[in-house]
Chains A and B, each alone.
Chain A
């Protein structure tokens, strides 16, 4: 006979744990299982053939998957390298009490984040157009060499990174601002009495106390960028010459266009493990004691 307290706990936990199991845990287990089978998604799941780790060995034999994995890391690192300092700088700037019009700037910065990614990608496709795009028109106006943007093997990936920075920077700036508001002014007053200058206040008070916000930004940005899909699907289809193929896009192609759910699930599981690994690593690296 269960105690009332235990029964209550079971009752309260069941809906949450049940939903979590159905929508998170079960699909993860199913994906792992499908990745060990050969299966076309157009046949019943009961017709799967068990092939062990063959799908994993096959995808690592593919140049396209290895290229997609490398491109995914490049995209993620490039976003981190650009967005982290930018969001910090803009956050610090917009936190200044004396700055006029900062509310408008904050709104404008956050606005692109609420626009659907597909709509953003379509608009940026026109902006990047090599022949008639506004970016090249501006460059030409200033007598600067026009660029090939998405049509270039070397520039396509960076063009996608710039698009993502434009769209998501505002969100990360808001997180920095939230972190800054949590820092007590007492620290700054004490530092001022001790004669600390603004750079010393930044490095010895602001940055250490922003560590939790910055670590959150790094983790979320890593998770999001490792899973990039929309702009690649809409704008480049992984091209030119696989220069923008990423794991999510290759996974989509393999599952839905090639009908190979086993290999696609193996890719999904690899990506899941990669994201999990980096998330745990970053959480440990940025662990704070306060």
Chain B
């Protein structure tokens, strides 16, 4: 009878109890003494096909390194941080984990993420772009092997563009509004049946990253050099005015078509895949989701740089990367085995045609790898009409601020922006509230 919320209450209570009882025990029982196998685990958010690829790679690795047993644990993206939070200090803690770079400062602060051993640091420094390495470097230490890199761009449906007589994707905000007007269709009651420009709601990154890509392309910033928000700038005001224009003035965007569910899919994806949304700002990783939903019609989907705002000097989208880290609480033999495996997994020895196995797995999901040799090895696939503009824009992309409390910062900003998108607060109130909330939050971590 006492279900639903009580499960959450009970989960928190039990986790507290378990952690309380288990605070001394932080590694699993694997040992590498003598001929004994070292047991390690790999926690990932990948889908089943990539998990199978990872298992195949482990089989290959076991041919050259038979004394390591690697267990793969897969959870949905939405549960990855939760799993890490609840398991990171327990006896069954994962040894290797895929993590979003935004979580790294907290994991380093909590001594969960181990810095890469000195002998492997040059391996990372010489094989990955500098910007990617900087994003996973804290206090001069690199905290793992970078893997995927994602950035945002304007995705548009070329068929709908042709039907509306639009020859090319918009390059500026004025062109964006103009195209959105031409692409919007309404029924007799004025209800939008096809929206010119789509937004995403109910998912923090889905709300914040496209908005921030537009802000970056208008010359603005989210945080200053002191880690405090700078949402009182002219550039930020212009960005929210663009949303105001698209949603309320020109009525080319319908927030009710924007909802995302717990799996970061849902109506916003369905509407774009079914030709009910003509343009949307999204990251390259959703290629496989679009291909699955659209089949042959995926060929209609094209990519263009983020349109530039009136105060901007060029297109600058938000980029973020993921890395594979090793649990600092694992015992020494496990950490050594984990780093050795990761070195192999990310090297040209493990994959096909000069790519690493990691590069092959990421490309299997339509995700850009960050290792230079992987990008070269997958050059043909990365030159597809959908992905090429993303690859080209990587050099202009700006990283999402990597700060303590980054996840809470994203959610707090999401909540404020959604208030504006659903007409619950004015632009000015939205920005004032967001500035205050983010300042309060950042003040907890940075003085």
Contact = CB atoms under 8 A, between A and B. Distances in A.
B270 A240 contact: no
Contacts of A238: 202
A130 B270 CA distance: 11
Given A43-B111, A242-B415, A131 B259 contact: no
Contact of B422 (A40, A146, A237, A240): A240
B276 A131 contact: yes
A239 B201 contact: yes
A30 interface: yes
Q: Which of A129, A130, A230, A234 has the most CB of B within 10 A?
A: A130
Given A41-B85, A43-B110, A241-B415, A234 B261 contact: yes
Nearest to B423: A153
A204 interface: no
B89 A227 contact: no
A4 to B, nearest CB: 35
B5 A258 contact: no
Contacts of A176: none
A233 to B, nearest CB: 6
B419 A131 contact: no
Q: Which of B17, B189, B191 has the most CB of A within 10 A?
A: B17
B38 interface: no
Contacts of A272: 9
A256 B85 contact: yes
Interface residues of A, number: 66
A146 B189 CA distance: 11
A220 B85 contact: no
Interface stretch (A9-17, A101-109, A259-267): A259-267
Contacts of B189: 145
Interface string B273-294: 0101000000000000000000
Given A44-B23, A229-B7, A241 B419 contact: yes
Interface string B86-101: 1011000000000000
Contact of A227 (B6, B20, B418): B6
Contacts of A150: 259
B17 A27 contact: yes
A257 B411 contact: yes
A253 B412 CA distance: 11
Contacts of B14: 27
Contacts of B257: 130-131, 151
Contact of B259 (A226, A240, A251, A265): A240
B385 interface: no
A154 B85 CA distance: 34
Q: Which of B107, B261, B271, B405 has the most CB of A within 10 A?
A: B261
Given A40-B110, A239-B201, A258-B408, A151 B16 contact: no
Contacts of A239: 201-202, 259, 418
Q: Which of A64, A223, A241, A259 has the most CB of B within 10 A?
A: A241
A167 to B, nearest CB: 11
Nearest to A43: B110
B293 to A, nearest CB: 12
Majority SS of interface residues in chain A? helix
A252 B13 contact: no
Contact of B9 (A131, A253, A271): A271
Contacts of A230: 4
A251 B17 contact: no
Nearest to A229: B5
B260 A237 contact: yes
A41 B8 contact: no
Interface string A20-56: 0000001110110010000011111110000000000
B192 to A, nearest CB: 11
B256 A151 contact: yes
Contact of A30 (B13, B23, B259): B13
Given A27-B13, A30-B20, A220-B1, A41 B86 contact: yes
B307 to A, nearest CB: 25
A130 B256 contact: yes
Contacts of A260: 408
A285 B424 CA distance: 38
B255 A151 contact: yes
A74 interface: no
A131 B271 contact: yes
B415 A64 contact: yes
Contacts of A229: 4-5, 7-8
9 contacts: A27-B14, A30-B16, A30-B17, A131-B267, A224-B1, A239-B201, A239-B259, A241-B424, A256-B81
Interface of A: 26-28, 30-31, 34, 40-46, 61, 63-64, 117, 125, 129-132, 145-146, 148, 150-153, 220, 223-224, 226-230, 233-243, 246-248, 251-253, 255-261, 264-265, 268, 271-272
